[in-house]
Amino acid sequence: MSVISNLRRAVRLPHRRHKVDLSHPARSPLGSAVVNCVVYTDGIRQSGSCPAGDAIDQVRKRRNGFVWIGLHEPSQEEFAGVAELFGLHPLAVEDTVDAHQRPKLEPYDDTLFTVFKTVRYVEHAELTATSEVVDTGEIMVFTGPDFVITVRHGRHGSLGPLREELEAVPDQLAKGPSAVLHAIADHVVDEYLAVTDAIQNDIDDVESDVFARRRGGADTGRIYQLKRELLELKRAVAPLDRPLQALSEPAPGHMLPGIDPDIRAYFRDVSDHLTRVTEQITGFDDLLNSILQANLAQVTVAQNEDMRKMSAWLAIIAVPTMVCGLYGMNFDHMPELRWAYGYPLVLGVIVTACILIHRGFRRNGWL
């Protein structure tokens, strides 16, 4: 378990207990999209906040530390100045502004561009065929020799609490931008675990409804909706496996720039957690398939029972229908037609035959 994960679990920081307002109404003077711009030296946050140009000049003049700039959904014009200042690759800049990217890791000279898909479990009183279960967003991270730039898209995944956690562990933060990259990866994957645990409860509820004794257990639409939301989660989780593998165990001759060797072990830990999430999602998908098949089988059984009951009652009704049909032909020569007790005898035969047939169907479980 990473240092940041251990700290989070030990002190129960607020972002685990409360939903954070992600709108960030208070903006810095650096621009409407800039959430924060901070200089770190030897893992210690330097007081004050300054424009990005002054911050990076300060870091490079001291030749120590790095600057961390956080942005939220910047426009192309707002991000152009930052991209020019730090020499970011145009392709990475385009992906950052447009968003809707798959998780990936791309090196550009001495800069790494990493994309994470963030997820959030959407609380709901009851799962319906239209319930939103998983909400996704994105975090783009540029890490260079002396800077970290994070760009967040979506109404969740705020990095403010994460920044506070890191600042509480200066020894870890002193390892540079790669420590921030690891902390973000660890934070994102931990959220995956939290979401899968919450989805487990929804699956348990649906499974209980399907196998409940009461008729019409679970709505098939609810199961399909849960499968759709699980697919959205899978699209966020599965592509992150290869970037984490590259960060933890780079291929020979393809060393990634700016990754502290001591941080690689922490990336392996995050990769292990991601593997666990992937296995959970695969298991959930298989379980939902089984639940869906069981629900459809129960519907088929219920329909067969209805058809058997209808057939049984039709067979019972067929007896008086047949007898009444015969006597309604108005022939002169029919059994007991002129006998005074013929009418009650026929009624008795009809009732007796219906009772016997009914008992036979009840004994066979058709009624």
Question: Is the confidence at residue 353, as pLDDT, over 80?
Answer: yes
pLDDT in tens, 301-338: 777 777 878 888 888 888 788 778 777 777 666 676 67
pLDDT in tens, 251-293: 665 668 778 888 888 999 999 999 999 999 999 999 999 888 8
pLDDT in tens, 115-131: 999 999 999 888 888 88
Domain covering 18-298: architecture: 2-Layer Sandwich (3.30)
Report how far Cα 75 is from the mean position of its chain's Cα atoms.
28
Question: Is the confidence at residue 342, as pLDDT, over 80?
Answer: no
d(CA 56, CA 40): 11
Report how far Cα 154 is from the mean position of its chain's Cα atoms.
15
pLDDT in tens, 118-171: 999 999 888 888 889 999 999 999 999 999 999 999 888 788 899 999 999 999
User: Which pLDDT band holds residue 367 (cuts at 50, 70, 90)?
Assistant: confident
Give pairs for 86-93: CB < 8 Å, separation 24+: 86/56, 86/111, 86/142, 86/144, 86/147, 86/149, 87/111, 88/113, 88/142, 88/149, 89/113, 92/142
pLDDT in tens, 67-95: 999 999 988 888 998 999 999 999 999 99
Domain ranges, ordered by start, for the chain: 18-298, 305-363
Residue 32: the pLDDT is 55
165: number of Cβ within 10 Å: 23
CATH of range 305-363; options 1.20.58, 1.20.1300, 3.40.50, 3.30.160:
1.20.58
Higher pLDDT, 327 or 234: 234
Residue 179: the pLDDT is 93
DSSP state, 28? Answer: -
